[in-house]
Structure 1
Amino acid sequence: MKVNYLIVGAGLTGLTFANLLAQNENNKILIIEKRHHIGGNAYDSYNANHILIHNYGPHIFHTNNQTVWDYLSQFTEWCDYQHRVLSFVDGQFIPMPITLETINQLYNTNFSQFEMVDFIESQKESVVPIKSSEDVALNNAGRDIYEKFFMNYTTKQWGVVPSELDPAVISRIPFRFNRDTRYFTDRYQGIPKAGYTKMCEQMIDRPNIKVMLNTDYKEVRDAIDYDKMIYTGPIDYFYDHQFGKLKYRSVRFEMEDHDCESFQKSAVVNYPNDYDFTRITEYKKITGQQGRKTTIMKEFPCDGEEPFYPFPTKEWQELYLLYKAKADAEKNVIFAGRLAEYRYYNMDAVVDQAMRFFEMRFL
């Protein structure tokens, strides 16, 4: 098979590259994806109750980048959605991130904005030098807020206590000194009206794009003649783990159906201190669907084969740099995206990055 571009991975990075390259009708593009679907972790599907679920956890699109918003709007209409999250702390469902409403509800106070500033300052502990994520939290927020909201959640998320994690993991704890309880404050926010999968299908609905699912690219690459490869998979896998396997944190998902119209007060509820899971998502509250039944998803962070979160510590970053040095020397391979760059990206960032790469390398 002869193609101009072989794209490994059908997540948003690979699909954006494919769409942009396909605008030149002379380009032949092949996408190879090991999963049974396109869309990467943004993949969504309807379950037995006809509820649209996000199979890999909640994905809320938000950005301040109008170029990215306008680009994706070619492929979907948007449902207006303002994401709100509650955290179950001290027997209460308290808004997150930390706002004036959070502090007043947690401590049964009636602080003004200025009084909240004074209160947070009074809670902080001076830690010098800062060596860990725990130090960052204590220095920025104080022990009580750290222990109620962050200590156990971070431990569940990474499987390591914050005192053993690099400061970058909790690089800062943001506070909003107002009553805005939205999780995101970006200018553009929404959910694709027909779902992420439909949006992704529209991105590659071109005759010069072919897709091969359920396929490891290494099984077929010798049979494909290509001019350039765009690789969005794990960078260590590309090099057969030559320097060792990079560490990722994975997530196990448990779905539950319930015979009720509403299970919880908000789309997402965090459980920093209770249970083994970190959060519960109720998808009807994201999609706006109606019905007598509802579906929830519990998330259990774990060490597993499915790579979700690059492990953000110095040790693993140094190992990644060994692979990056080899990748930088490649002549006809572009490494792009979360797994290929061993870096966590929001959805808008991977689309923006692919668009920038395209402008630099192909225009």
Structure 2
Amino acid sequence: MKKYDYLIVGSGLFGSTFAYKAKQAGKSCLVIDKRKHRGGNIYCEEIEGINVHKYGAHIFHTSNKEVWDFVNSIVEFNRYTNSPIANYNGKLYNLPFNMNTFYQMWGVTTPQQAKEKIEKQKAAAIESMKNSGITEPRNLEEQAISLIGTDIYETLIKGYTEKQWGRKCTELPAFIIKRLPVRFVYDNNYFNDKYQGIPIGGYNRLINGLLDGIEVKTDEDFFKNRQYWESIAKKIIFTGKIDEFYGYQFGKLEYRTVRFEEEIHDCSNYQGNAVVNYTEKEVPYTRIIEHKHFEMFGVEVDNCPKTVISKEYSTEWKEGMEPYYPVNDEKNNLLYNKYQKLAEKENNVIFGGRLAEYKYYDMAPVIERVLKLSL
């Protein structure tokens, strides 16, 4: 007899949501996590009365009412709207690309003026490629310029992207930028989704609500005692690296990772916004997150006398680092497909999440996928 219906490896959003759903269905679960805390990459730590996103900014957004109602049934979400700013050599630009951006870039004030400026630069770029015998963009740089023109590419895309990927834009595949969102309205809301916010009190409240009444063991590495863990449950929900699950038998998948430098400042407001991207290549970090702005608004910001910021440095993943972003180029996708074929033959293992499925996931689609799973 197995002690549990499900062993859930990983207490991030996929694992915690699955555990909640299984408990609601009357199933017995054990959740294990190799970290010393619950929550995976959405874990927060309270510092100076501020919920600090320890693994980078997480902003929940969705147009799926079922998902939004589900998370709000666990914890109420606030009205945070993601409106990042780009800093290029000390000059600020609104993101995503919209009429505010175009006014800051060129001084244009009407959609028609902005469209004419962009179309003129796009046409020049495409003509230049044709004259060089290039019929289709061969790399990210050519793709981006053909979509948005040179000014925005050079100012807001090139340096940031090269820092993020650790290689020149001319060395990155064109498909990374299939399209660029451009709005000819004065709207700084980064997401188009109907619902958006942060859990009031931080993401730990969401995870603790999902795992309420469920047995959880942290600081437990599945691979250090694999035979035992596999023996105690009828099925395994695995949210770790799929290549590691199969002993790297076809080789190791590649990732990008992020290093964080956290600073506490003796001021109530460091940069006036939650997210500021630094788009010139000479600044080594990609962005600065000021965590209090996710949950504090108006006078609340000034009433909290200190602030916490995180500088983010993107780097190539190596063994021992946290894997963040799958490198979904042709080589890695072909390798993942080999592991996926093995996974499809499993009767007692369900793979879920960005590491197990080797793809970038926003939070809402993770929950949506779990809600659709059959127990």
TM-score range relative to shorter protein: over 0.9
CA deviation digits over 1:233-258, x for unaligned, max 9?
Answer: 11011011111111000000000111
Match runs of 1:170-181 below 5 Å: 170-181=177-188
SS of the residue 2:174 aligns to: coil
Q: Which residue does 1:190 correspond to in 2?
A: 197
User: Is there any run of 5+ residues in structure 2 with no aligned partner, and where?
Assistant: 130-134
Shift of 1:170: 1.7
Query: Contact between 1:8 and 1:32, CA under 8 Å: does it hold in 2?
Result: yes
Superposed displacement of residue 44, structure 1:
0.8
Partner of 1:119: 117
Unpaired runs of 5+ residues, structure 1, are none
CA RMSD of aligned residues (A): 1.3
| Conserved? CA contact 1:88–1:270, under 8 Å | yes
The worse-fitting range, judged by mean Cα deviation, of 286-295 and 94-103 is 286-295
Matching residue of 1:241: 248
**SS of structure 1 residue aligned to 2:142:** helix
Cα distance, 1:265 vs structure 2? 2.7
Aligned residues: 354
Match of 1:297 in 2: 310
Aligned equivalent of 1:212:
217
Structure-to-structure mapping, 1:140-155, within 5 angstroms: 140-155=147-162
More helix by share: 2
1:72 to partner: Cα distance: 0.7
User: Does 1:93 pair with 2:109?
Assistant: no
Q: Report the 3-state secondary structure (helix = DSSP H, G, I; strand = E; otherwise coil) of the residue aligned with 1:45.
A: strand
Query: Residue 279 in 1 paired to residue 287 in 2?
Result: yes
Contact conserved, 2:111 with 2:185, CA < 8 A, in 1?
A: yes
The offset of 1:310, in angstroms, is: 0.2
Partner amino acid for 1:332? N
Q: Which amino acid aligns with 2:34?
A: K
Which whole-Å deviations, capped at 9, do the CAs of 1:288-337 have from their partners, x for residues lacking one?
05411111100000123210000121111111111111111111111111
Does the Cα contact within 8 Å between 2:43 and 2:55 map onto a contact in 1? yes
Assess if the C-alpha contact under 8 Å between 1:168 and 1:312 holds in 2: no
> Is 2:326 the partner of 1:310?
yes
Q: 1:132 aligns with which of 127, 133, 139?
A: 139
CA drift at 1:266: 1.4
- Structure 1 position 116, deviation (Å): 1.4
Mapped to 2, the partners of 1:134 and 1:317 lie a distance apart of 22
In the TM superposition, residue 90 of structure 1 has moved relative to its aligned partner by: 4.3
How far is 1:91 from its partner?
Answer: 2.7
Aligned twin of 2:259: 252
**What is the one-letter code of the residue matched to 1:12?**
L
Q: Which piece of structure 1 moves more, 269-278 or 129-138?
A: 129-138
2:369 to 346, 353, 360: 353
Residue identity in the other structure for 1:312 = N
Provide the TM-score with structure 2 as the length reference: 0.91
- Aligned residue number for residue 338 of structure 1: 354
State the partner residue of 1:9. 10
Amino acid at match of 2:50: I
User: Percent sequence identity over matched residues?
Assistant: 40
Query: Following TM superposition, by how much is the alpha carbon of 1:23 offset from its aligned partner in structure 2, in angstroms?
Result: 0.9
2:75 is equivalent to residue 68 of structure 1: no
Q: Call closer, same or farther: CA 1:220–1:314 in 2, change over 3 Å.
A: same
Q: Is the 8 A contact 2:108 2:114 kept in 1?
A: no
1-10 vs 232-241, which deviates more? 1-10
Alignment-derived partner of residue 29 in structure 1: 29
State the secondary structure of the residue aligned to 1:169.
helix
| Counterpart for residue 320 of structure 1 | 336
Cα distance between partner residues in 2 of 1:99 and 1:37: 40
Specify the alignment match of 2:41 in structure 1: 41
Q: Distance in 2 between matches of 1:307 and 1:296?
A: 22
